[in-house]
Amino acid sequence: MIIIDDTLVSEDLGKIYFSCNLSQCHGDCCVEGDAGAPLEESEISIIEDYLDEIKPYMAQKGIEVVEKYGVFDYDAEGEYVTPLVNDRECAFVYFENGISYCAIEKAWIEGKIKFQKPISCHLYPVRLNQLKEHTAVNYDQWDICKVALIKGSQDKIPLYQYLKTPLIRKFGQRWFQKLCEAFEQKQDK
């Protein structure tokens, strides 16, 4: 583990090479799994505030779920997550040419909202776990990301570099610089 401020970062972020390959995985991380994407409490009100701008990009079944149950649900541990359609795909997913995309992010790309998407989605395959005094930053290994591991190895992109933008979004530029320095020191040894 690497300790940076109040975070415990898995060394996997520097050892694993990763680069999403949507043409191969089809965005299955938005469709598979046993719960929706983790949500921070503050993200719920943001999504609620922007829902009218997000809906035009959503699939009809997702709109129906959100209108009936709201923009969040709870997972087995009682944590906030995005709601699911048919206990499978995220309610905010839409499909284009057989690939899953995020309606929230599409609204952001189109300039309709100022919120890109939930940080847990932006950081994936990294998951954050709140401990007593620290936030654990861990790689979440999942079979559907095998092609991302292959592409990352071919492109020689360490996971922490692949996730530079969302890591800075979550923890800040100074924190990310400390992370880079820690991994560089490990390489020098």
DSSP track, 92-119: TEEEETTEEEEHHHHHHHTTS-S--S-H
Domain presence at residue 187: yes
Q: Is the peptide bond before 83 cis (omega within 30 degrees of 0)?
A: no
Examine the domain organization and report whether 71 and 99 are in the same domain. yes
> Is 90 in contact with 36 (CB distance < 8 Å)?
yes
Examine the domain organization and report whether 73 and 131 are in the same domain. no
Examine the domain organization and report whether 166 and 98 are in the same domain. no
Does 114 have pLDDT greater than 80?
yes
How many domains does the chain contain in total? 2
Report the C-alpha gap between 172 and 90 in whole angstroms. Answer: 28
> Is 160 in contact with 14 (CB distance < 8 Å)?
yes
Examine the domain organization and report whether 130 and 169 are in the same domain. yes
Domain presence at residue 24: no
Q: How confident is the model at residue 110 (pLDDT cuts 50, 70, 90)?
A: very high
Examine the domain organization and report whether 73 and 145 are in the same domain. no
Instruction: List Cα–Cα distances, 11 to 7, 19, 127, 166, in angstroms.
Output: 12, 17, 14, 18
Q: Is the pTM of this model over 0.85?
A: yes
The pLDDT value recorded for residue 85 is 95
Examine the domain organization and report whether 91 and 109 are in the same domain. yes
What single letter denotes the amino acid at residue 72?
Answer: F
Q: How confident is the model at residue 34 (pLDDT cuts 50, 70, 90)?
A: confident
- Percent of the chain surpassing pLDDT 70: 99
Report the C-alpha gap between 177 and 175 in whole angstroms. Answer: 5
- Percent of the chain surpassing pLDDT 90: 84
Domain extent at residue 181: 1-18+125-189
Give the count of beta carbons closer than 10 Å to the beta carbon of residue 171: 20
Poorest-pLDDT segment among 8-17, 19-28, 101-110, 175-184: 19-28
Q: How confident is the model at residue 117 (pLDDT cuts 50, 70, 90)?
A: very high
Examine the domain organization and report whether 107 and 132 are in the same domain. no
Q: How confident is the model at residue 172 (pLDDT cuts 50, 70, 90)?
A: very high
Nearest CA among 49, 125, 33, 127 for reference residue 82: 33
| Residue located via tokens 């890591």 | 167
**Which one of 115, 150, 178 terminates a domain?**
115
Give the residue-averaged pLDDT of 165-188. Answer: 93
What single letter denotes the amino acid at residue 57?
Answer: Y
Examine the domain organization and report whether 43 and 111 are in the same domain. yes
